[in-house]
Structure 1
Amino acid sequence: MPTPDDDRTGARIREQRKLARLTQKELAQRIPYSQSLINAVERGARAASIDFTAAVAHALRIDVTALTGQPYVTELQQDRLASLVRPIREALDLYDLGPDPDQTTRPTLALAAAADDLCQQVRATRLRNAAAALPGTIAELTTAVGRTPSTELWQALASTYRTAHDIAVKLGYYDLSAVALDRMAWAADRASDPCLSAVRQYMRALVYFREGEYRIGRRLITAGLTAVDQAPGGREAAAVRGQIHLGGSVLAARARQQTALDEHLAAAEGIAAEIGDASSVHWLSFGPANVAMHRMSAAVEMRRYDDALSQARTVRLPAGLATSRRAHFLIDQARAEMETGRTDAALTHLVEARRAAPEQTRYHPGARETISGLVHIARRTPDTLSQMAVWVGL
């Protein structure tokens, strides 16, 4: 019988390392982390950070979910979210079936607005609402574009596929997110929309970022920049280009490539200074605030935690900032606080993230591992921390 201690990242790392017939010393030779850290994580004395887990997954040639335990099915079932995944999977499989003779469809403008609303729901971290509405919208758009294809309908369909990817990632279904991105490429090609194609390459790069495949991720960033170069100039293309540079910055930071990091951040900063806040462009949240948040996140990825906290204190989050970005920033800040011994502040930020975006925070592996780390550090576990640990399923 497995014990609760077996259901944690460190235990899974130990199990997968042994299946690969590697000692801790041999694994340490393959990743940029010490044998002592591997030992501490496997024993449960240290939390496994996202970058550490990605490095181990890459070295062992396994999916990162084999180590994180995603999707967190028990919690998803408790939140009645697991049952919403299969309809999304089925809707993604409709793409080549043509129009459904029994399907009624709304006018193009209404369908485009529905696709747009789904993006806003995800940014507001109302994942249940978005997941429930998504399959029907995909089905309706699939029929509409099959009957009377138009650029606007293909763009709206590509947008719903992008939403499917976003939801799948946030709930830990990375296999489903890959299918959604393939469908997004299929629709974006038919829309002849280089900006949509570029956004899709940016999202693909982040998939490889999570898996620790930074070389492929960097190639996809380059592909995204090449795609957006085919778009007419203007605010839309500039915002997409800026966001792709931000994706490149976190990849460079995780790969410890300072020069590339500086170049990507400088490019994004220049674009943001030129166009200002462009949060609504493809719902990427691009603008000066997002650049500042990525600069802080890059410092966290580089393990420069004091620098990250100094930057975090200067960031002014706009009132209209997407809740999903606000929660992600708070989770990054919590990790930096924990790593510098500020455990009370770390817990405060996690509670703030939970209050702002409960569904996103509960299923965020970084939040989960930071909570785990705080539990291991604490001499006496405060009630609030105990409640958080139970809430995320630890």
Structure 2
Amino acid sequence: MSTSLSMQFGRRVAYWRGRRRMTQATFASLMGKSLRWVEDVEAGRVQRDPQLSVMLLAASKLGITLERLLSDEAVACAGQSELDAVRAALHRHDVITGARGDADDEPVSVDLLHRALVHARSGFQRGHFAQLGAAIPTLLVDASQAAHHHRGDEQMEAFRLLSLSLELTEAALIKWGDTETAVLAGHRAVAAAERSQDPVIMASAARHLADAMTNHGQASAAVAFVTAAAHRLQGELLQRGPDGLSVLGMLFLKAAMAQAATAEADDRNSAALARKVPDHLAEAAEHAEHLGHDDNRLWSSFGPTNVQLYKVAAHVQLSEGADAVAVAHGIPAPAFAGLPPERRAHLLADRALGEIQAGLCERAVDTLLEAERLAPEEVQCRPRTRAAVEDLRLLGTGSAEGRLRALADRCGLPG
């Protein structure tokens, strides 16, 4: 029992120290201990149970409760190491040029690439973002080399997979809060899509880049870019069946979000700009109606339900909280249940933001807890939801204060 508690304590100290981006030396100084002591504790080499006073001091220096320090409920959020790995991969010579270190090595087959991409994308839609820090660099290296060294149809397929891998990179970076690198990945995805000569992949890459631009404060440019892509590709996409309809509809959903962000940022013409948001949503709804059902082509989750999700998000962006909540509650339970966990948790997080705007703070806590049960990383790790938890702490949540305090602790927010 002694060894078990010592190992648990050391493992949890290492985890939270990493979450706080604190070196072992810094933590040792805060604890009044030697660096060797920290190394031994984290490695589980201490044979006796730590004293209660030591555990309480460690929790205090890490900015969490003792219960949280010793709990295994904490989610392993992506940290600096995952971000650094993805950024480094995007700047690798072989990723940028496709060159291989050993010219005699055969590039990865498109079949293996496809399977790796499906596995990583499925993880994303389940809300498992941290694990992408290990998967994405390998995907980028293998897809880049395959796209540059295969020939004929295999090369075109490799460029499609490279573009989709870069889209995944961009989406993960947005979840992690690095919108600048997300824009870089988005530009690369568009370039690879153009090389694939596939209008479906071109449209998919365009909608992802527009998302990155919007999140990076370039919403007006995102509107212009994504609507230009929609008008350029619409004719070909309408002939490509469900895949074409899905990505075309997503282009207009991203246009709606970018337009809402543009309106929110403009102090002079906000109302006029906001009036254009429903037009983009209506275009998307028309394509969803033609599709006829909710689908997940190219991991888009596009369909009538996703259009409603974007209506909620647009209302929140425009600070129309009551309208956002009303639309969210109007989504049928079976349609909601059919969405991937990431989409469901994202909707609930948007609904919680709408509830905060509408003054329903106690209800917002329970909505965030519901989202956390579906996809813990969407709540505990994303900057936007952590900011919502901070806002709720300032606003007060009545009888939900205890639940909010526990949630803030799981998010790693200081008390």
| Structure-2-length-normalised TM-score | 0.71
Q: CA deviation at 1:104?
A: 5.5
| Distance (whole Å) between structure 2 residues aligned to residue 355 and residue 77 of structure 1 | 12
How does 1:265-304 map onto structure 2 within 5 Å? Answer: 265-277=281-293, 279-304=295-320
Q: Which moved more, 1:238-247 or 1:311-320?
A: 311-320
Residues 103 and 140, structure 1, Cα contact 8 Å, conserved in 2: no
Matched-pair contact (CA < 8 Å) for 1:228–1:237: no
Distance in 2 separating the partners of 1:140 and 1:213: 31
**Tell me, which stretches of 5 or more residues in structure 2 are unaligned?**
1-73, 264-270
Change (3 A) 1:103 1:337: farther
Aligned mates of 2:297, 2:353 — CA distance in 1: 29
1:181 aligned to which of 178, 182, 186: 186
- Contact 2:140 2:165 (C-alpha < 8 Å) held by counterparts: yes
Local SS of the residue matching 2:337: coil
* 1:99-248 pair list within 5 angstroms: 99-101=100-102, 105-149=107-151, 150-229=155-234, 231-232=236-237, 233=239, 234-248=241-255
Please name the residue that 1:313 is paired with. 329
- 1:272 shift after superposition: 0.8
- Whole-Å Cα distance in 2 between the matches of residues 140 and 244 of structure 1? 28
SS of the aligned residue for 1:303 comes to coil
Relative to 1, partners in 2 of residues 1:184 and 1:236: Cα closer, same or farther, differing over 3 Å?
same
Q: Are residues 361 and 200 of structure 1, via their aligned partners in 2, closer, same or farther at CA, if it must alter by over 3 Å?
A: same
Contact 2:174 2:215 in 1 (8 A): no
Post-superposition offset of 1:239 = 1.1
1:223 & 1:103 partners in 2: Cα distance? 41
Aligned length, in residue pairs: 319
Give per-residue Cα distances to partners, 1:258-309, cap 9 Å, x unaligned: 4322211211111111112353222111101001111222222222222222
Q: Which moved more, 1:324-333 or 1:291-300?
A: 291-300
Indicate if the aligned counterparts of 1:165 and 1:181 stay in contact, CA closer than 8 A: yes
Question: Cα 1:262–1:179, aligned 2, differ >3 Å: closer, same or farther?
Answer: closer
CA-CA distance at 1:225 after TM superposition = 0.5
In the TM superposition, what is the alpha-carbon distance from 1:151 to its structure 2 partner? 1.0
Give the number of the structure whose alpha-carbon radius of gyration is greater: 2
Compute the displacement of 1:223 (Å): 2.1
Contact in 1 for aligned 2:362/2:397 (Cα 8 Å): no
Shift in Å, 1:80: 5.8
**Would you say the 8 A contact 2:163–2:205 is kept in 1?**
no
Aligned to 1:9: none
Label 1:227 to 1:379 Cα distance change in 2 as closer, same or farther (>3 A). Answer: closer
- Tell me the residue number matched to 2:386: 368
- What stretches of structure 1 of length at least 5 have no aligned partner? 1-75
1:292-344: CA deviations, max 9, x gaps?
A: 11122222222222222222111124433122211111111111222222222
Q: Give distance in 1, aligned partners of 2:355 and 2:377.
A: 22
Compare relative contact order (CA 8 Å, sep 6+) and give the higher one, 1 or 2. Answer: 1
Cross-structure match for 2:65:
none
User: 85, 88, 97: which is aligned to 1:87?
Assistant: 85
Residue number in structure 2 paired with 1:57? none
Change (3 A) 1:250 1:140: closer
Q: CA distance change for structure 1 residues 251 and 179 in 2, over 3 Å: closer, same or farther?
A: closer
Deviations 1:190-235 (A, max 9, x none): 1112222222222222233224433212101212213423635122
On the 8 A contact 1:195/1:227 being kept in 2, the answer is no
Residues 188, 297 of structure 1: CA spacing in aligned structure 2 closer, same or farther, 3 A cutoff? same
Alpha-carbon distance, 1:77 to partner? 11
Distance, in Å, in 1 between the alignment partners of 2:410 and 2:346 is 18
**Match status 1:383 vs 2:402:** yes
CA distance in 2, matches of 1:100, 1:112: 23
- 1:353 is aligned, of 354, 357, 371, to 371
Instruction: Report the Cα offset of residue 106 of structure 1.
Output: 4.1
Distance 1:123 1:227, change over 3 A: farther
Deviations 1:136-193 (A, max 9, x none): 2222222223321311111111111111111111111222212211221231121112
- What is the letter of the counterpart of residue 331 of structure 2? V
Which residue does the alignment assign to 1:330? Answer: 348
Indicate conservation of the 8 Å contact 2:143/2:161, yes or no. yes
TM-score normalised according to structure 1 size: 0.74
Q: Distance in 1 between matches of 2:369 and 2:167?
A: 29
Which whole-Å CA distance do the structure 1 matches of 2:257 and 2:78 have between them?
Answer: 33
Counterparts of 1:376 and 1:303 in 2: how far apart (Å)?
A: 18
**How far, CA to CA, are the matches of 2:216 and 2:150 in structure 1?**
39
Q: Which amino acid aligns with 1:240?
A: V
Q: How many angstroms apart in 1 are the aligned matches of 2:106 and 2:378?
A: 33
Q: 1:268 & 1:283 partners in 2: Cα distance?
A: 16
Distance 2:208 2:80 in 1: 23
CA contact (8 A) 2:294 2:304 kept: no
